[in-house]
Structure 1
Amino acid sequence: MNWMLIIIGFFTGYLVGLTGVGGGALISLLLLTLVGMPLNAAVGTALLFAAITKGTAMQVYRGYALVDWTVVGILWMGSLSASIATITWVHTMAKIGEDVSFYKQLIASGILVAVMSMFLQPTIETLSKKKFLNNGPGITGLQILLTILAGAALGILVTLTSVGIGALGLIILIQLFPHRMSPPSLVATNIVHAIPLALFGGVGHTFLGNVDLTALGSLLIGSIPGAIFGALTAVLLPHASLRSTLSATLWIFGLQLWWSVLPSSW
Structure 2
Amino acid sequence: MSMTYVIAGFAVGLLVGMTGVGGGSLMTPLLTLLFGVSPSVAVGTDLAFASITKGVGTITHRFNRTVQWPIVRHLCLGALPAALLTTLALSQFGTVNPQVGQVIRYSIAVSVMLTVVALLFRARMLRWINAHPGRQLQGRKLAAATIISGAVLGVLVTVSSIGAGAIGATLLVMLYPRLTSAEVAGTDIAYAVPLTAIAALGHWWLGSINWMLLATLLIGSVPGITLGAMMARKVPERFLRALLAMTLTGVAAKLVL
- TM-score bracket relative to the smaller structure: 0.7 to 0.9
Following superposition, the deviation at residue 107 of structure 1 comes to 6.8
Report the 3-state secondary structure (helix = DSSP H, G, I; strand = E; otherwise coil) of the residue aligned with 1:47: helix
Letter in 1 for 2:90: V
Aligned equivalents of 1:119, 1:225: Cα separation in 2: 28
Whichever residue aligns with residue 118 of structure 1, its letter is: T
Report the TM-score, using the length of structure 1 for normalisation.
Answer: 0.84
- After TM superposition, list the pairs within 5 Å mapping 1:1-266 onto structure 2: 2-93=2-93, 95-96=94-95, 101=98, 105=102, 108-109=105-106, 111-118=108-115, 121=118, 125=125, 129=132, 131-134=134-137, 139-179=138-178, 181-255=179-253, 257-259=254-256, 262=257
Instruction: Count matched residues.
Output: 251
Whole-angstrom distance in 2 between the partners of 1:127 and 1:44: 41
Contact 1:91 1:208 in 2 (8 A): no
1:133–1:140 contact (8 Å) kept in structure 2: no
Amino acid at match of 2:12: T
SS in 1 for 2:53: helix
- Unaligned runs of 5+ residues in structure 1 are none
CA positional deviation for 1:25: 2.0
- Separation in 2, partners of 1:114, 1:2: 36
Query: 3-state DSSP class of the match of 1:24?
Result: helix
CA distance, structure 2, for counterparts of residue 192 and residue 119 of structure 1: 21
Q: Secondary structure at the match of 1:131?
A: helix
Going from structure 1 to structure 2, the CA distance change for 1:253 and 1:111 (only over 3 Å counts) comes to same
User: Which structure's residues are more often helix, by fraction?
Assistant: 2
Cα distance in 1 for residues equivalent to 2:235 and 2:105: 33
Quickly say closer, same or farther: Cα 1:30–1:188, change in 2 above 3 A: same
Alignment partners' CA distance in 2, 1:254 and 1:132: 28
Contact 2:113 2:252 in 1 (8 A): no
Which amino acid counterpart does residue 227 of structure 1 have in structure 2?
Answer: I
Alpha-carbon deviation of 1:111? 4.2
- The structure-2 alpha-carbon separation of the partners of 1:120 and 1:149, relative to structure 1 and needing over 3 Å to count, comes to farther
Runs of 4+ in 1 over 6 A off after TM superposition: none
Structure 2 residue ranges without an equivalent (≥5): none
Contact 1:132–1:142 under 8 Å retained in 2: no
The 1-side partners of 2:227 and 2:129 are apart by 37
Q: Is the 8 A contact 1:66 1:189 kept in 2?
A: yes
Greater shift in the superposed pair: 8-17 or 60-69:
60-69
User: What is the TM-score when the length of structure 2 is the normalising length?
Assistant: 0.86
1:209 offset after TM fit, Å? 1.7
SS at match of 1:21: coil
- Superposition CA RMSD, Å: 2.6
Q: 1:119 to 1:216 in 2, by over 3 A?
A: closer
